[in-house]
Homo-oligomer: A and B are copies of this chain.
Amino acid sequence: MSATNMQVLLANRPVGWVKESDFRIVETPVPTPGDGQVLVKNLYLSLDPYMRGRMNDARSYAAKVELGDVMTGETVGEIVKSNHPKFAVGDTVVGRVGWQRYALSDGKDLRKVDPKAVPISTYLGVVGMPGVTAYIGLLDIGQPKPGETVVVSAASGAVGSVVGQLAKMKGCRAVGIAGGKAKCDFVVKELGFDACVDHRAGDLGKALAEATPKGIDVYFENVGGPILDHVLLRCNPFARIPLCGMVSQYNATDDRYGVKNLMMGVAMRIKLQGFIVSDHLDRWPEALAQLAQWVREGKIKYRETVTEGLENAPRAFIGLLKGENFGKQLVKLA
């Protein structure tokens, strides 16, 4: 075991785009668990767009990270010391223990997982929070019906890639929106979407119209910005728009995009509904079991971008916010 812990702290609240200097990397002694505590050695850290919101001093659904605190984040790791009756040394666990190599936990925020069932990194992606987000957002809020058209933005990402594959399983036409030809090719050729629109390639409205000849019944919103305006013009009556995230707007300050076509929401009786996956804990066991099964059976495919070393997490996170990753963004810690 390495003699020191490494932690990534929030150093500054970013204004606009996050900078590496908004983080501070420190080395500290590896802590010792007290009564009822465990020591987790983190193997992978998950980087997710929602973390941008935790860096702000703003009202939201979850507590912000305080200046000087360890950045919040989920990891998959291994119990290396345990004073807790429910966890043994060697157990593999998923938990929200932050951007650090070693973490103490009282076990409340840890979930034991089976390292032999699926690759452990997937517990942070397709068989973890992002996969469950796709599952609940699409199935419970989007409620797709066979024959309908489902569109998802950030389609090659951790959430979007699962949304489209679930839509196909439900008998829908799945259309992705992604940035660049490589991502679009992946979405169609490897994930099996029916079409993918490259939002960097020019006339988004025209391309979206061609990809959705029967209009749009469900739009799973991950990015915000002008895409939503184009989608609203293509929505069929009673379309559903689960609002999962708006990553394109997280770093905006005075230049936030203004959505102009909400009037279509009246004419087409559209439902736009924001959701947070942690509000639906009762749905997690079903979703996780299903997703793990589909991954094992090869029915759901995924891609990962793995950055080596915790010290590179800030740069990887900034890249994620800019769409530089491809699939689920992870940091390998050990």
Contact = CB atoms under 8 A, between A and B. Distances in A.
Interface of A: 53, 59-61, 224, 228, 237, 243-246, 249-250, 256-276, 279
Contacts of A279: 269
B262 A269 contact: no
A222 to B, nearest CB: 10
Stoichiometry (number of copies): 2
Given A244-B266, A258-B258, A272 B275 contact: no
Contacts of A59: 267
Nearest to A270: B274
B266 A243 contact: yes
B256 A260 contact: yes
A274 B274 contact: no
Contact of A269 (B237, B268, B269, B275): B275
Contacts of A264: 274
Given A259-B260, A271-B274, 6 more contacts: A243-B265, A244-B266, A258-B260, A259-B262, A264-B274, A269-B279
Contact of A266 (B245, B258, B266): B245
A267 B263 contact: no
B237 A61 contact: yes
A187 to B, nearest CB: 23
Contacts of A244: 266
A253 to B, nearest CB: 11
A60 B100 CA distance: 53
14 contacts: A59-B267, A243-B265, A249-B263, A256-B260, A257-B258, A257-B260, A258-B259, A259-B262, A265-B273, A266-B276, A269-B273, A269-B274, A269-B275, A270-B274
Contacts of A250: 263
